[in-house]
Amino acid sequence: MSKLIPNPDGTYTRLITLPIVPAQPDPSSPTTRVLSKDISVNPKTETMVRLFLPREVLDLPAPRIPLIFYYHGGAFIFFSATSSIFHEFCSTMALQLQVLIVSLEYRLAPEHRLPAAYDDAVDALHWIKTTKEEWIVKFVDLSNCFLMGTSAGGNLAYHAGLRACAVSDHLDPLKIKGLILHHPFFGGSERTGSEMVMEDDPILPPRVCDAAWKWVLPLGADRDHEYCNPAGSKEFERCVAIRVMGCRVLVAGCFGDPLIDRQMGLGKMLEGKGVRTMTHFGNGFHGLEVSDPSKAPALFIVLKNFIYEL
């Protein structure tokens, strides 16, 4: 991938970057509607989370709001929980949904190939059940937790959800109620119809996905590996754990995304396994609501209905 330059120490310089936004933890500012702060999770892996809390929650007598773990996009290679578009998306979502968002800074490939990001996600789930962080202790209902991600983050939410449901007894009092797969990033060795039709997509052409997966998957794995293509793997049988736990799934995407066939197919297969599945597909492109904030309110209505089961 030409956007990665190898360094002598084994790290890579990324030529695709986004502006970094600092956290905004000061509640005394009357113009700050959403507070944010960064908290270390695991010093060994250098993972951290950025928390987003609606400021008005501070004034409620005894709030217990839902918790959303959010995983940013970037093909598992690029960007950060502190990147501008993901910071703004999470900030607006926290306000509109009245939830606390825990946006995870997970390890990136190719320095840390999968399953490192999945390991970080589950590690953070174990961390949050025992943390004494004030916002978590005072304001969050740990029994009402959702895992959500955009693009690569949607893939991460799916695989972290599989792992979490399989060990749910060890996460108590944390209870995962649902998975929100927003434009999830999946693939496979054979092209789908939408990938062939949109071969020259300006946002996410399939050839770029092919290149990314070579840097992301375990060495020697092809694109039908379970991390990339759950529909073609035995791991799909593990989704039964999602059904057993009563966890529901929302798959959201756009018809202008080359990955739409894979996303719709995953939704149908989850339904076939008896998982309570909701889908939301509309016009647009990959990552629409993150890159175009004017499109986000419609998504937030869907998310609010899903979270609060209206």
Positions annotated as catalytic residues are 151, 257, 286
Sign of the dihedral defined by the CA atoms of residues 244, 249, 255, 259, in that order: negative
Which residues are CB-neighbours of 83 under 8 A, at least 6 positions away? 18, 19, 20, 21, 72, 74
Question: Shortest CA distance to 109 belongs to which of 212, 198, 182, 5?
Answer: 212
Place of tokens 């004030």: 134
Q: 145: which strand partners?
A: 67, 176
CB 81 within 8 A of CB 124: no
Q: Which run of H or E residues covers position 155? A: helix 152-166
Q: Interhelix angle for 84-97 vs 296-308, to 10°?
A: 50
Sign of the dihedral defined by the CA atoms of residues 119, 278, 307, 241, in that order: negative
Question: Shortest CA distance to 42 belongs to which of 105, 118, 90?
Answer: 105
Q: 176: which strand partners?
A: 145
Question: Shortest CA distance to 110 belongs to which of 199, 13, 16?
Answer: 13
